[in-house]
Amino acid sequence: MAGISFLDEHRTWVLTGETSTYALRLGEDDVPVHVYWGPALPATAVVELIGKTLPWWDGFNDPGEGVDELAADGGTRYWTPALQVRFADGTRALEWRYESHHIAAGHLRLSFADRHYPLRITLHYRLRGDVLERWTELSAGTDVEVVRADSATWALPIFEDYRLSHVTGRWAAETRLQRGFAHHGETVFASRRGITGHHANPWVMVDDGTATERHGEVYGVALAWSGSWRLTTTRASTGRLTVSGGFGQDGVVHRVGPGRPLTTPVSAGLYTAGGFGAASRAWHAYVRAHVLPHPGELRPVLYNSWEATGFDVTEAGQLALAERAAALGVELFVMDDGWFGARTGDHAGLGDWHVNRSRFPDGLKPLVDAVHGLGMQFGIWVEPEMVNPDSDLYRAHPDWVLHHPHRRRSELQRQLVLNFARPDVAAWAHEWLDRLAGTADFLKWDMNRPFSEAGWPGEADQDRLWVDHTRAVYALLDRLRADHPGLRIESCAGGGGRIDLGVLARTDQVWTSDNTDALDRLRIQHGYGQLYPARAMSAWVTDNPNFVTARSIPLGFRFHVAMAGVLGLGGDIVQWSEDDLALARELVARYKNIRAVVQHGALYRLRPPVDDGVTAVQYVLADRAVVFAYRQSAHFNAPERPLRLDGLDPAAKYLDPDSGRTHSGAVLLAHGLPLDLPAGDFASVVIRLDRIKI
């Protein structure tokens, strides 16, 4: 039975999810120690796994290393520390003393104190189905320096080998899946940029090297944090592997003291059997049910004006685009950069968030009213955390940006970063965003550069800006949403630079990449979908040739790739041909028909985009399934193979309403679906399957 139980005699807690169990205990020295994580076990069986502290067998290896629930620096523990503290007298070692525990509504709190110093530690565990959320609270009666404060240490079973799955990338090439065996020692995945980052993402999956898409045990750990972060896997010669992760970075110290507690972000862990596919579906279900603010909603088809106009924004031009977008079936019109201040290029005006009256003589209201009159919602682009040096805001408040007094202020994209940890900066941002949110239905919140010269002159604890900036952004998003319940928000950071469980808890979708090339997007979306659901994956159809890659791809292929997420349009649709407009109208209507299946259904990766042949994904929701198949390149006149589907009822029949064909579920699962792809490169098809009710 799912829930949390305490085995008093064994000083052990057992947390049982829907299909998995996690257990921990108190060692003889009160250190919280890992017992078990894996397939569901009854509490009576967990008792068999509870052992005494092992004796030392040499003078170099503590037998308890690698099994601490929060590996603390000190004593003879030399494992990668999740918690490092430095007391006022220079003492670094921590000695645990157990105080109490509390269980309520699937939430376990374990309270500890140091045996000598006035430091308190509370470990939190919360069950969300099979996902276990963990975080740590620190408080102190006197000032304590916290050198490292990870949210949790996750101890994995001892396997013969370990393989790590994660994503890497860069701007316009985010979330590319990587799999490789874990090295001995420490492997660190991190961002020191003040944001989640394009180059990595705060999650890792671990298996024993034999898992496939459909088979095998997979363990996953993901961090809910949008600032600098760090995940460390540690593999010892004794056979143990752990994953430790949290916010912060080397050299940044958290200061805890009276009235200054520290709470780490959530570190979420998940065990699944059934391979990487089952792991992804479980993560998606968790995000939809427990992370996203409005999980039951269907995200609208949007149009964004950026690629059509760039900075050349006018009321008449935006209205022409809005009229064309509405005629195509678009539901949300988003005006991008260039509507405010002296923003005629990227060199000036950022930070001056007042309407450019030479472009909008009567303000935004006429355009907003026109968009609403066309039956669409109105959205607008903002970049609250940045400022151009050439702006009225910077001239008035040069001290508001991150800087050091005797160092140059590095500009990226002609921008500097505002210090949102400052209450006056946060108040300024709320004032104008609150006004704008009273006009707009949707904000595209961008963040186009990482931190540099991250100083806060005059502040005694400057390191706190690394955490407090992100928390201030969170607080502002939370406040805007509370005050404007109808407001919906997209997270963007030069594309996919801020995608994580922390920002997804406060936004409705994320901009996956500035690269809208459909061929590249297949790989970007493949990596994104390992952890995050299509319900939040914004994907646009843009013009030929693509502005990032200069590649030309047929319009139907571009649509079919974008339709596997939250569909958007971003091209200069005023210039599209009548044939392209007719196809766009047809495919927007088709997307609306399948949208619920894509956004709320279970994802099955049928053929990954690991080569340039056919790749395919499938979504299943209740009695409906949708298959997306793409031939990237045709080689040697290779015969087309049937596509074996997944997630269907083998005893049922399924109707393809477009061809009129009826298929046996058993045949689709065992033999496959004929694709009948058009000839040549960049051929694609979307196939709907409806279960026939008997």
What is the residue extent of each domain of the chain? 3-290, 302-596, 607-691
Contact 433, 420 (CB under 8 A): no
Give pLDDT, residue 204: 98
Contact assessment for residue 168 and residue 496, using Cβ atoms and an 8 Å cutoff: no
Which CATH architecture fits 3-290? Answer: Distorted Sandwich (2.70)
Q: For the chain, what's the residue count?
A: 694
Q: What is the pLDDT of residue 345?
A: 95
pLDDT at 153 over 90: yes
The pLDDT score that the predictor gives to residue 75 is 85
Q: Point out the residues that are catalytic.
A: 446, 514
* Confidence grade of residue 140 (pLDDT, cut at 50, 70, 90): very high
Per-residue pLDDT, 61: 80
pLDDT at 138 over 90: yes
Give the side-chain half-sphere CA count within 13 A for 458: 6
Q: Is the pLDDT of residue 694 over 90?
A: no
Q: Which CATH superfamily is domain 302-596 in?
A: Aldolase class I (3.20.20.70)
| 173 neighbors 201 (Cβ within 8 angstroms) | no
Q: Where are the beta strands (DSSP E) in 184-315?
A: 185-191, 203-207, 218-223, 229-235, 241-247, 254-256, 262-263, 267-272, 302-304
Looking at residues 656-668, what average pLDDT do you find?
97
* Percentage with pLDDT > 70 across the chain: 100
Task: State the average pLDDT over residues 234-243.
Answer: 91
CATH for the 607-691 domain, from 2.160.10.10, 1.10.760.10, 2.60.40.1180, 3.40.50.2300:
2.60.40.1180
The first and second tokens of residue 357, run together, are 């009256």
When pLDDT is cut at 50, 70 and 90, the band that residue 52 belongs to is low
Please state the rounded mean pLDDT for residues 225-247. 95
**pLDDT per residue over 30-51, tens digit each?**
999 999 999 999 999 999 999 7
199 with 170: CB under 8 angstroms? yes
Please tell me the least confidently modeled range out of 255-269, 286-300, 633-647.
633-647
Separation of alpha carbons 522 and 562, rounded Å: 9
Q: Rounded to whole angstroms, how far apart are CA atoms 90 and 216?
A: 47
* % the chain with pLDDT above 90: 94
pLDDT of residue 638: 80
Quick one: pLDDT at residue 278?
98
Nearest residue to 26 (alpha-carbon basis) of 8, 39, 43, 48: 8
Q: How many CB atoms lie within 10 A of CB 521?
A: 25
Q: What is the pLDDT of residues 63-85, one digit of tens each?
A: 878 899 999 998 888 899 999 99
Task: With a cut of 80, say whether residue 24 has pLDDT above it.
Answer: yes
CA dihedral 104, 109, 110, 112 (to 10 degrees): -130
Neighbours of 105 (CB within 10 A): 8
> Across-strand partners of 39?
20
Mean pLDDT of the chain: 96
Query: Do 160 and 208 contact (CB within 8 A), yes or no?
Result: yes
Question: CA 441, CA 367: separation in Å to the nearest integer?
Answer: 13
Could you read off the pLDDT of 97-108 as tens digits, one per residue? Answer: 999 999 999 999
Q: Please, are residues 225 and 247 in contact by the beta-carbon 8 Å criterion?
A: yes
pLDDT at 519: 98
d(CA 227, CA 205): 21
d(CA 626, CA 597): 7
Name the pLDDT band for 640 (thresholds 50, 70, 90). Answer: confident
What is the bridge-based pairing of β-strands 332-335 and 241-247? unpaired
Burial of 203 (0-12, 13-18, 19+ CB in 10 A): buried
